Amino acid sequence: MKTNVRYFVVAGILLAAALAIFVSPFASSSPDGLERVAADEGFDGAADDSAVSDSPLADYGVEGIDDDRIATATAGVVGILATFGLGIGIFGLLRVMRPEPTSEAPADPATSGA
């Protein structure tokens, strides 16, 4: 069973990476719904930059890569690897913290005379 889970996880990573590399560079550069509403209502200039707006992966790109499509694909792959890595780490930690099963079967109330 563990092998099937590994294949599933690896297949998920490969599929997500393929989408990030080959599809995300073609995503629309038009504002998303919230940005569009803010622009239509005239308060889009009131937004403050976030604390991570100058990070290496800000704005769906990678700092230092001039080609927008390659920068977007690279940021997508980095995000996928970080997300899967975090998830695998959390599940690994939960597995270690899980109590060991006892070999004693629970008593059946119907046969124990209770």
The residue segments making up the domain with residue 14 are 2-27+54-97
Does any domain span residue 12? yes
pLDDT digits (tens, 9 = 90+) for 28-67: 777 778 888 888 888 888 878 888 888 887 877 888 888 8
Number of domains in the chain: 1
Q: How far is CA 98 from the centre of its chain?
A: 24
Does any domain span residue 45? no
Does any domain span residue 72? yes
Question: How far is it, in rounded angstroms, from Cα 29 to Cα 40?
Answer: 17
Structure tokens at 87: 């998830």
Does any domain span residue 111? no
Question: How far is it, in rounded angstroms, from Cα 59 to Cα 88?
Answer: 26
DSSP string, 83-95: HHHHHHHHHHHHH
Does any domain span residue 41? no
Burial 5-35 (b: 16+ CB within 10 A, else e): eeeeeeeebeebbeebbeebbeeeeeeeeee
Does any domain span residue 108? no
Predicted local confidence at residue 17, as pLDDT: 92
- Among 80-84, 88-92, 105-109, the range scoring the smallest mean pLDDT is 105-109
Does any domain span residue 91? yes
Does any domain span residue 36? no
Handedness of CA 68, 74, 77, 82 (dihedral sign): negative
Predicted local confidence at residue 16, as pLDDT: 92
